[in-house]
Amino acid sequence: MGEEGVKNEGLRGRFIRSLGKTRLKVSHGIGDLVLGEKRIDENTLLDLEASLLTTDVGIDAAEAIIAGLKGRLSRNELSDRKSLHQALQAELTEMARPLGKPFQIGSARPFVVLFIGVNGVGKTTTIGKLSKHLEGAGFSTLLAAGDTFRAAATEQIQAWGASNDVPVVSQQSGADSAAVIYDAIETAKRQGIDVVLADTAGRLQAKKGLMDELSKIKRVIARTDETAPHECLLVIDANVGQNAISQLYDFDEAVGVSGMVVAKLDGSARGGVLFSLAHAQASQECTPVYFVGLGESADDLEPFDPDAFVEALLAP
Ligand SMILES: Nc1nc2c(ncn2[C@@H]2O[C@H](COP(=O)(O)OP(=O)(O)OP(=O)(O)O)[C@@H](O)[C@H]2O)c(=O)[nH]1
Ligand SMILES: [Mg+2]
């Protein structure tokens, strides 16, 4: 096994350990369906569709997956459990693959990453995790406490700064979020810091005033460097189900989303939402899922690798 293979094997193992509930539904679903059964037929596929739907794959994506399998059934490629398993793996991987794209720190300094999303989805925690990940990869990071809504938000990001031993730029609560982030970027420039990770307060995508505030934040960031922010990451809670798609569309329309992080996949039985996100974007340029969150600790962030993810989902 090459270095890449070892890395993938590790990621697959990590996904297997963390995707418990979603895995139970998918892989045990398949096991139950075809164990000891005769041939695979249309009914088997209908049962499989139902089992996929319980993980929030969404109707459209589930239908597309089943249509692919039906094609194989008619070509006599599906005869037993093993061939169904392989075919499902191929269908799911093909669907999810456009979401997989490595997160890269480009050449701009500081490289500015803005975090946005609905309330409580995991933005601040993801910033803490990503800061540790990037520091480990040799990039210095600075955290911008752009959620000025509540004092507790500033304390939370300061705690991440302290535990990762990285600087945090903050102001008193109620301060202008755009001003705090601007100040953080200027500080990073002066100090020669590689990456600024900027937090924002959670907001519902339907609240126009709050979405306008995000546009303003982006405009103010662009004053420090017209190419910034270099990434605008939408954090999505894996448990929201189909609402993930409207979050993507609405935030993208309001401010432009360059990538996603799907948090809280651990403990969620709804990991199928990733296929939903992929299928919804099938006819357009796909906004990638750079990372998935697999727990609350600093090391619980992993790159989203569609191959390892699907292998883990279907592993016996
Ligand atoms: N199990 C699990 N919990 C997570 C994960 N990511 C975040 N959390 C937890 O989810 C809760 C909310 O996380 P935050 O990072 O505060 O979310 P936020 O989006 O910043 O929230 P607001 O700033 O209030 O909008 C916290 O209790 C986190 O520990 C994850 O990947 N897995
Ligand atoms: Mg927060």
CATH number at residue 26: 1.20.120.140
CA distance 135 to 244: 30
How big is the chain, counted in residues? Answer: 316
Same domain, 89 and 176: no
CB of 148 sitting under 6 A from ligand 1: no
Is the CB of residue 268 below 6 angstroms from any atom belonging to ligand 1? no
Question: 225-251 as b/e, with b when 16 or more CB fall inside 10 Å?
Answer: beebbbbbbbbbbbbbbbebbebbebb
Residues 153 and 282 in one domain: yes
Query: What's the rounded mean pLDDT across residues 248-264?
Result: 97
In-domain check, residue 261: yes
Q: Whose CA is nearest to atom 14 of ligand 1?
A: 122
Q: Is residue 72 part of a domain?
A: yes
Enumerate the H helices of 192-272 as residue ranges. Answer: 208-222, 243-255
160 shares its domain with 240 = yes
What is the distance between the alpha carbons of residues 98 and 163, in angstroms, rounded to a whole number?
A: 35
Whether pLDDT at 245 is above 50:
yes
Q: The domain containing residue 206 runs over which residues?
A: 111-304
- Asked if residue 316 belongs to a domain, the reply is no
Are 219 and 83 within one domain? no
Nearest residue (CA) to ligand 1, atom 26: 122
Q: Which residues contact 50 (CB under 8 A, 6 or more apart)?
A: none
Q: Which of 17-31, 83-97, 204-218, 221-235 has the lowest mean pLDDT?
A: 17-31
**pLDDT, averaged across the chain:** 92
Domain annotation covers residue 226: yes
For tokens 């500033």, what's the residue?
154
2 pLDDT more than 60 = no
CATH value at residue 294: 3.40.50.300
Count of domains forming the chain: 2
Which ligand number lies closest to the CA of residue 295? 1
pLDDT at 98: 97
Q: Is 19 in the pocket of ligand 1 (CB under 6 A)?
A: no
Residues 151, 82 share a domain: no
- The per-residue pLDDT for 31 is 57
Residues with CB under 5 A from ligand 2 (ion): 123-124
- Cα–ligand 1 centroid distance for 201 (angstroms): 12
Would you call 168 exposed, middle or buried from its count of C-beta atoms within 10 A (0-12, 13-18, 19+)? buried
* Residue 87 and residue 230 in one domain: no
Any idea which ligand is nearest the CA of 126? 1
Q: Which residue in the block uniquely carries the two structure tokens 């701009």?
A: 108
Residues 90 and 150 in one domain: no
